[in-house]
Amino acid sequence: MELNLVEIFSSIQGEGPDVGRRTLFVRLGGCDLRCNWCDTPHTWLPAKRARLERTAGQGDFEEAANPFTVERALSASAPLLAAVPHEFVSLTGGEPLLQPEACAALAAEFRALGSEIHLETHGLHATALRQVLPHIDIVSMDWKLASDVRRESEPKGAVAEPFDVGHAAFLEVAREAPRCVVKLVVTLRTTDAEVDAARDAVAKLHPDASVVLQPVTPFARVTERPSAERMLALHARLRESLDDVRVIPQTHPVWGVR
């Protein structure tokens, strides 16, 4: 089975409730959204070549041509997994669920090696998730806010249609996973109304989900992050109907790792 691979490397989880855990990242190519704050725009299109870390956590990469096979991805990962215990393998992107067969095969193989499988997804491809879900331990889905995210098919500068219907359909599948994290990236454009809509949908569909409010990390066109006061006000807003709500900024920029 073939897949488009961007990179494989060993690091620590830099965001969400499992921040700090040793994680092998397997990043797949291609994405059908365009988040204004995206910090991996090189993944939007399938990659011609993949980067493979040679030594766990040392950032020394070799390159290899795409397409990859699941077997090649596993053998490229083997020395990294052997060098140091990893608690998670993160299937990320891009949008990994654009390649559901490959995702399912990778997840099954990595899980057999003893790691928990973390799926990092924009949270809009429910049918693909259904295919992958039996092999996943943690679904970490975004709840995209249309104030700062558009579909690839929508023109730049247009006001995007909200993503709530697609996210609700996705969450109805994701709630069958052992753990589910719903992440909202908050920018200066985030409105109370769109946060309320996300809160009400999560409270109705999966009130036990962990919800993460992540202040945007300035990158590319985004130069400012929301204030601490704004984040605390949104936290209080979500806590009106959800139990597990956390404000967790990305940690990688703080100490300069990927």
- Residue numbers of the site for ligand SF4 (CB under 6 A)? 31, 33-35, 38, 40, 43, 93-95, 122
Closer by beta carbon to ligand SF4, 39 or else 137: 39
User: For the chain, what's the residue count?
Assistant: 258
* Smallest separation, CB 79 to ligand SF4 (Å): 27
Closer by beta carbon to ligand SF4, 18 or else 142: 142
Q: Which residues contact 35 (CB under 8 A, 6 or more apart)?
A: 144, 148, 149, 185
Structure token pair of residue 17: 């409730």
Structure token pair of residue 126: 């429910």
Structure token pair of residue 201: 């949908």
* Smallest separation, CB 184 to ligand SF4 (Å): 13
Closer by beta carbon to ligand SF4, 150 or else 199: 150
Structure token pair of residue 249: 């900024």
* Smallest separation, CB 74 to ligand SF4 (Å): 23
Angle (nearest 5°) at CA 150 between 146 and 156: 120
* Smallest separation, CB 34 to ligand SF4 (Å): 5
Closer by beta carbon to ligand SF4, 42 or else 54: 42
- 55 with 83: CB under 8 angstroms? yes
Q: Name the pairing type of β-strands 33-35 and 149-151.
A: antiparallel
Q: Is the dihedral of CA 142, 28, 131, 244 positive or negative?
A: negative
DSSP class of 42:
G
Closer by beta carbon to ligand SF4, 241 or else 250: 250
* Smallest separation, CB 214 to ligand SF4 (Å): 11
